[in-house]
Structure 1
Amino acid sequence: MTSSPTRRTMMVSLVGALGLAATACTASDDGAPEAGGGEEAAAGFPLTLTDCDAEVVLPAAPERVVLLDSAPVTTLDGLGVLDRVVARAGSFPEGYYDADLAGRLEAIPVLSEDIDTSGHLQISQEVVIAQRPDLVLGLPDGVTREGMRAAGAEVLMPRSYCGGLDQRATFTMLFAEITAHGAVFDRTDRAEVLVGTLQERIDTVASLSPAARTAAVLYPSVGGGPLYAYGALSMATAQLDALGIQNVFADTAQRVFESGTEPLLASDPDLLIVLHQGTVPVDELLGEVLGDGRLASLRAARDGAVLPLLFNFTEPASPLIVDGLERIGDWLSEREQER
């Protein structure tokens, strides 16, 4: 596929906007081509990325990938490189995927499905190293960049998990994430097509005019733990912005933060979107939010305007958040038709 200069310029700009500026070096200091294993290095490699605060150098497109986060699945699938994943760990609810993708994911060996009450993966670094990866996607507690690098693997994280963001989230962050992965896996053309397709879907949902005007996006800790809310730096805000709905916590310059019930009661949003990992029944999940009268007096609770949504449909930036946007849009449309 041949793309226009404008589109190519946009894609390069998106990588820089995400903080994943990539540089390639294919020649040695004396001008001779670099070679690895007796072969000339592939065009675009070695590739240097800035991931969070770390410099990551990839000598070639990764061939053995370990997934410690479910979010990249649809990005890898969209780029046509899911077959490079040799193992996975975490929660991968079938609700994210169509039957074909779910089947291919099921065939990938599972290292751990141990998720704590806050939704964090529990796994030892030694288990990951035993897979001999050259790239690890995700960085849960107990796994370090230094430890993986010593074993011959680099680590990449979703940009929104890195911290240090200083502006309201937009879908540009999603496009930049895809563009960066396209460079990593030497699939820049596939990345460009994927970005274009997602933009068209976003534009379609954005044409809706829902009656609701305010919403809050929450994550309850199962077992009576803290209640978390999502602010300006979360992709939840980008989703609500696309629909013309105000996130009641959009003035909070954080991605996610612990919230008491008082701010929610004071804002009394039209809608509640409750994120979860799919590890507990939905009824139990909603009981964590609305039970014991904590938030039962909210207008959204009284009106039944509460949508449970699997976590990766909103966070972090991946093609799944466009699926999530469509689900929110469909839910709103159905509610308005019932009125």
Structure 2
Amino acid sequence: MRMINMQKVDTKNLPLHDQRDLNQLHFLRALLEQASVTRAGEQLGMSQPAASRATARLRSQFDDPLLVRSGRTYLLTPLAIQLLPQLRDILGRTDALFEQVQFNPASARRTFQMATTDYGMSAVLLGLIPHLQQQGPQLSLRVDAWGSQTLERMERGELDAALYVGSDLPPDFHRRKLFTDGYALVCAANHPLLQHASLPARALLEQAAGYPQFAARYPLRHGYATDDVYTELGLAMPFITLEAPYFYVGNFAAEYGNVVAVVPERAARAWQANRAISVIALDIAELAFEYCLIWHESRHRDPAMKWFRELLVSKCQ
């Protein structure tokens, strides 16, 4: 009769097929808890032949029958009795590990750290906040202004993601399209330009060029550039009364300064509800642009960020 060593079993020797096959350990636990090959297989959705083969492999690997018949039932061998609490501990800790990996927004405490312009705030993030609150009471956003160091800060892990126009990104960055936007003309609700509102978009802009303008300045990696729609379309450049690095200023300038603003349409629509302004969409294909969510490789597999990205994409689309 083989002598059983009743000291604690070395868990490194558990049958893991090169220490990788957790399925075998789950079957072993079910086998010992059920004391039945059939019931263990049923618990794990295995056929009777598959459960029998798994049992045979375990018996061979442990050099122990694990279950012995006693009348119409089976009893655990001394080794099996010794293994069962260790299995429960090992698999319990393994299950807890995978539960941590699976992000649960309802119970998680997480601040998502973003970078964007005020356009991104108006067109994307403000509308996301109610959904974020609904999904998790302890989820929040921290938003920094997009600047020359934004990409470097993402590489250093200081930012989770950013909102971005275009596709020119350094290596190790990922992008996901949120939507395509165009431009709109914004002016005061009583502006004389509105008498030409029914004109085709280019003709309307030619009329608009005769009035003082607001132009937004957007951040680049090194400094700012003026959002010059007229030059991009080959039209005469109007006189720009105000340039500012904030898109939302355009609606105030239009309402109070009697100037015309040509700004991204989603932002203009977001502002229109609370301002005495008119918004006229400009149906010009050359002005369409993709707005994207971008993130660095270091955040690509983060379960919380995977969840956040899917939420953001679903709400934008």
TM value normalised by structure 2: 0.26
Compare CA radii of gyration and give the structure with the larger one: 2
- The structure, 1 or 2, with the larger RCO (C-alpha pairs under 8 Å, 6+ apart) is 2
Larger strand fraction of residues? 2
TM value normalised by structure 1: 0.25
